Amino acid sequence: MAKLVLLSQGLIGRTHELKVDTTTIGRVDDNTFPIAEPSVSSHHCEILRKGSDVVVRDLNSTNGTFINGEKISESVLNPGQILRLGQIEMRLETEEAAAPAAGKKAPDNTVVMQRGVSLTDLEAGAQKGFDTAGKGFSKKDNKGNKIFLLVAIVVGVVIVGLLLFAFATMK
């Protein structure tokens, strides 16, 4: 059985089996395969099963229908090819294409996801080198703020003195 496997962020792994002869794909719920994404038109395209072929027909979509990066109006979609509707990408898979040929190893499509820091890692952080001096966190020095405040007061006194001198000489 042929199926479409979504590859786009947020929809990865979602599939739709092509069980009927005509499958409509679009943003609204009356499609056979609705995809609620703004770049997909209300009625974007239809997938037709014609014997062993899977044919994609664009339904005058706003953002176009593409197979392996080439814009199409109607074209055969082969297993493994990438179908893009607006910003959404999906791949056609069949049982024959999914099963590796005898003697061949299936390609490893493993994606390594970076892991965040766990609470136990944070708690053990001081022992692992976060705090090399063994002092823990120290209070921030306020020396810079004190110097800035002192300079601002001196400049303010000088300006006031100049203004008083200017008024005194005008009389």
The pLDDT tens digits of the residues spanning 13-57 come to: 788 888 899 999 999 999 999 998 899 999 999 999 888 889 999
Say what the pLDDT of residue 73 is: 92
User: What is the C-alpha separation between 74 and 56, in angstroms, rounded?
Assistant: 5
Mean pLDDT within 132-139: 58
- Cβ 84 vs Cβ 45: under 8 Å: no
Whether residue 128 contacts residue 117, with contact meaning beta carbons closer than 8 Å, is answered with: no
Number of separate helices (H) and strands (E) present in the chain: 4, 11
Rounded mean pLDDT of the chain? 82
Q: Of 28, 30, 26, 27, whose CA–CA distance to 47 is shortest?
A: 26
- Under a CB-based contact definition with an 8 Å cutoff, are residues 62 and 40 in contact? no
Tens digit of each residue's pLDDT (9 = 90 or more) over 99-113 = 444 455 556 666 655
Q: Write down the pTM of the prediction.
A: 0.54
How many CA atoms, within 13 angstroms, populate the side-chain half-sphere of residue 77? 33
